[in-house]
Structure 1
Amino acid sequence: MVTIYDVAKETGYSITTVSRALNNYPDVSDKTKKIILEAVDEMGYFPNSIARSLTMKKSFTLGVIFVEDLGVGMKHPFFSAVIEGFKQRAEKFGYDLVFINRFIGNEKKSYIDHAYYRGVDGIIVVCSNYSDPEVVKLIESPLPSVVLDVHSDKTNVIYSNNVYGCELVIDHLYSLGHKKIAHIAAAEDTFTGNERLKGYKLGMDKYGLPINEDYIVDGGYFSYEGGYHAMNNLLKLDDVPTAVFASGDTMAIGAIKAIKEAGLKVPDDISIVGFDDIDLAQHITPALTTIRQNTELMGKRAADLLIDQINDKDEDFSTVILSVDLIDRESTKSLTD
């Protein structure tokens, strides 16, 4: 059986350095961590979790909490992709994941109470509603945490540059000659929805395009059904938009369904753009033009932020905003074509 001593001998580093690298201590350089983690993979080293927990006074488990109003949790392709990246990174440092709910037995508790009950070292919060009191309690607790898609200066946060991504959408549609651009917005109590609505308005202002309030429709909590119903409302207008930007890919796919049922074509009659670049986006017909979020990187950076805080409780909180890219596929078209 491979031991930590074998890893130290193989890499040439001390046992202390190997141990600190495996626990993602910030005083070990990224280059050193990379060499040690590669050796761990090649040698098949697996630490004794009981001995390590007693020595380090940690459980080496991380809690995963979903706080969102749609109720889809891990079934949402964006969430599942981020958590997979988080899981892969956390496992590199010997952590297991525990999913935290509101119940201990039959008794309903707060998320933070359940997290303490399970003895997790830290939590990742996947959140849609930034005003949820449960989220506030989690953020303000002393338990190390990282929160996705919420802005706060009281914990570690990570999200994509939603505003810039939406400006890219308007840049693209305007370059194709579109001026009547509608927006299927997400629920107003979501941070992401507000940021993407802000980006839409900034993009329209950039080109001096009027913002028609009839063109901003509520699509709810990023669901297929929300996009479908919102698009049907847009199709009832006397002046139907030539292009629609949906706040999420699943909403965009619902909008495409509504357009097809109305006897119209995408993109011949109406161009559609989404946001997220979920796997399905490239496989539907027509393939969806969208904004790509780097979900794998988001998950891995979230794990790094959380484990760094666990290992150094005095470290300042971090805000990480990831870049996004426009992926031009088949669902948009020039008005002059």
Structure 2
Amino acid sequence: MMMRETMPLYKFIVEDIKEKIGSGQLKDGDAIPTQIELAKLYETSEITSRRALSELVNEGLVVRIRGKGTFIQLRDPHNTDPSEGGKIALEQIVLIHPSASPHLFNHPFYANFISGIHAACEEHDIRFQLLDVSESDGIESNPLVGAIVLPGAPGAQNIMISQLKAWKEADLRMVLAHFYFPQLQIPYVIVDNLTGGYLATEHLIALGHKRIGIIVTGHSLMDINQEFSLRLQGYKLALSQHGIAFDESLVSVMEANEELEEMGYEGAKQLLALENKPTAIFATSDYKAFGAIRAGKELGLRIPDELSIVGYDDVIQSRYTSPALTTVNQNTERMGKRAVELLLKPWSEKAIEESFVKEEIVPKLLVRSSTAHYSATL
């Protein structure tokens, strides 16, 4: 029997459900408790039960069906038996982006994502190709091609919606990644940014910080980019669960088309100019965190002794900054592999409508040297 005290609670839930599967108590197709029900059953928070469910999805042991629930899935997800509504096996998978420039894919988020797709395609002996959306004419006419679509940054998303609708009507086998449009009922796989924001903030709270600033990307507090809005929600949830009131003055919104160090520099200066300064900053991206570190040092603050800083993305430079950056790894290689796995499932328009698939990949907190315990004596 497992000892609950010897492992993180989300892991205990995962292992407990695995044990029930192994003993035959839970069988293929059985429904398992909802996120809310699991939280009550194991006397924990919904963020913990949510993470446990996401881990089970990532391991391919359960499947979430929108509007119906979460079910044990022990059958081979790559079975394409026509009797189960599938199509013939794919020969090629294309990754489509509105602006597939080499510069974009230098970012570790995309580089690791592509690495995951490539590895999964090699495993299943499927050709892989990267396409700009302008190069994708006619792909919907080839039943042997499946598409993973990166709708792109908010400015490019509107361009994609009409194209996505057309591909859906043509029954193109496709999965969205990173950004998504639930109203289109197209399967998608994303990183769980809410949990990522929660993990970063909870880490700072565990170190004793209560005045925690956050720097997000957007136009205003009411108009924040999708991924950063979810990270902000995770930040708020962590504060709420630890009895810390949300303070709007601790939110700095920076506007830009891409993540830049200067955004973090200006955002941190804004936060550190407050009369009641934050003792920690969650920068929501590594590049903004680099700027926040620079701003703190210019103001004579010792990092992490007088100011703790957390990034997000785990870019290569984050390991070599001074101090090394505590950050959140988005696990996008797993997201790429999972996108391929979804494309290889039995596929038909009817099946998609009946079991709309949304999958969230759980990110990982990496604790390094840019965070430390809060000290009121400093």
TM-score, structure 2 normalization: 0.64
Q: Deviations over 1:149-176 (max 9, x none)?
A: 2344411211222212222222221221
Map of 1:289 onto structure 2: 326
Question: Does 2:319 align with 1:315?
Answer: no
Conservation of the 8 A alpha-carbon contact between 1:160 and 1:321 = yes
Q: Which runs of 5+ in 2 are unaligned?
A: 1-76, 83-87
Aligned length: 279
Superposed, which structure 2 residues align to 1:240-279 within 5 Å?
240-279=277-316
Alpha-carbon distance, 1:95 to partner: 2.7
Partner deviation per Cα, 1:277-305 (whole Å, 9 max, x = no partner): 33332232212112232222111001111
Greater radius of gyration (CA): 1
* CA shift in 2, pair 1:96/1:289, >3 Å: same
Post-superposition shift, 1:116?
A: 5.0
1:121 alignment partner in structure 2: 145
Q: 1:180 is matched with which residue: 203, 211, 221?
A: 211
Tell me the alpha carbon deviations over residues 166-215 of structure 1, each in whole angstroms, 9 at most, x when there is no partner: 22222221221211101111224532111111111122222232322221
**Counterpart amino acid of 1:315?**
A
Partner of 2:372: 333
1:301 paired with 2:338, answer yes
Match of 1:200 in 2: 235
Aligned counterparts of 2:304 and 2:336: Cα–Cα separation in 1: 33
**Residues 214 and 284 in structure 2, CA contact (< 8 A), matched pair in contact too:** yes
Between the aligned partners of 2:292 and 2:142, the Cα distance in structure 1 is 42
Q: CA deviation at 1:24?
A: 4.3
* Secondary structure of 1:100 counterpart: strand
C-alpha separation in 2, matches of 1:201 and 1:69: 34
CA–CA distance in structure 2, aligned partners of residues 70 and 210 of structure 1? 42
Runs (5+) with no aligned partner, structure 1: 1-22, 29-55, 105-111
Name the amino acid aligned to 1:73.
Answer: L
Q: Is 2:238 the counterpart of 1:213?
A: no
Number of the residue aligned with 1:63: 94
TM-score normalised by L of structure 1: 0.72
- How far apart, CA to CA, are the structure 2 residues paired with 1:330 and 1:177? 16
Cα deviation per residue 1:125-149 (whole Å; 9 max; x = unaligned)?
Answer: 2233298223323443222222222
Q: Which moved more, 1:212-221 or 1:195-204?
A: 212-221
Q: CA 1:239–1:75 in 2, change beyond 3 Å: closer, same or farther?
A: same
The whole-number CA distance in structure 1 between the counterparts of 2:288 and 2:269 is: 12
Question: Which one-letter code corresponds to 1:260 in the other structure?
Answer: K
1:93-136, CA deviations, whole angstroms, 9 ceiling, x for partnerless residues? 233333322546xxxxxxx6475599982222223329822332
Contact 2:109 2:313 in 1 (8 A): yes
**In structure 1, what is the Cα distance between the partners aligned to 2:273 and 2:115?**
40
Q: CA RMSD in A?
A: 3.2
Once the 2 structures are TM-superposed, how far is the Cα of residue 237 of structure 1 from its aligned partner?
Answer: 2.8
Name the residue aligned to 2:30: none
Contact 2:281 2:308 (8 Å CA) reproduced: yes
Matches of 1:71 and 1:238, distance apart in 2: 44
Residues 1:86 and 2:117 aligned together: yes
SS at 2:277's partner residue? coil
In 1, Cα distance between the equivalents of 2:174 and 2:232?
A: 27
